[in-house]
Amino acid sequence: MTLKYPKGSRQPDQLANQSFTQNKKKKSFANRGMTLEKDIVETNNYYLESGKAVIHKKPTPIQVVQVDYPKRSAAVIKEAYYRRPSTTDFNGIYSGWHIDFEAKETKNKHSLPLTNIHSHQVEHMRRIDEHGGICFFVIRFSLRNETFLLFIRPFLKVWQEAQNQDGRKSIPYSFIKENGYSIPFKLQAKVDYLQVIDDVY
């Protein structure tokens, strides 16, 4: 199936287990890199099953263009495209709070590139924050094996600078470490971001 994307929308991640399969003999903590979204989904499932929170990955609506019917009882989508750019990756509710966040990971050790963060996402998060929701980024530096929670307000300072013609095009690791919160890795909650929210709120 071929999926087409509107201009400026986020491309899908590569298969999370592809590098694991190819590098099975080189398994290490560093090889957890580029699996952040999968870890968050598993964490959210744990939150749901334990009755702690209801937070899900947002589905992105698609427009089906071509369908084949190899059998009467089966249909195969051959071509489709995303109808509109997505906002954030995850949202839900926790202890009466609306939770809305975007997950980003990078193999860059020194900064998080801003190229995969789009203005419509930032505007959506800003509005959620203005209405009392809890908005943030979950950022993983895979080569450092470190994951952080960065709330939208400190992020907006860097984002505004980046909008200037000569503004920076990435967020330094040092800024994220200083203004964000380290997210603990746990067996059941691999990305226990609610622990950070409990500590802050």
At 133-178, the pLDDT tens digits run 999 999 999 999 999 999 999 999 999 888 876 777 899 999 999 9
Pairing of strands 62-71, 74-82: antiparallel
- Residue 34 — very low, low, confident or very high, per pLDDT cuts 50/70/90? low
Residue 120 has pLDDT above 70, yes or no: yes
Instruction: Take residue 124 and report the two structure tokens written for it.
Output: 């959506």
Q: Which residues contact 43 (CB under 8 A, 6 or more apart)?
A: 189, 190, 191, 192, 193
What whole-number distance in Å separates Cα of residue 176 and Cα of residue 139? 9
Residue 27 has pLDDT above 70, yes or no: no
pLDDT at 100: 97
Rounded to 5 degrees, what are φ and ψ at 39? -65, -40
Domain ranges for the chain: 26-59+86-200
Q: Closest Cα to residue 150, out of 169, 129, 131, 167?
A: 129
CATH number for the region 26-59+86-200 comes to: 3.40.1350.10
Residue 20 has pLDDT above 50, yes or no: no
At 57-99, the pLDDT tens digits run 987 666 666 777 777 677 776 676 655 556 898 999 999 999 9
pLDDT at 33: 41
Q: Is the pTM of this model over 0.85?
A: no
Q: Closest Cα to residue 38, out of 3, 82, 89, 75?
A: 89
Pairing of strands 90-94, 97-106: antiparallel
DSSP code per residue over 33-96: TT-HHHHHHHHHHHHHHTTS-EEEEPPPPEEEEEEEEEETTEEEEEEEEESS----SEEEEETT
Which range, of 32-41, 57-66, 178-187, averages the lowest pLDDT? 57-66
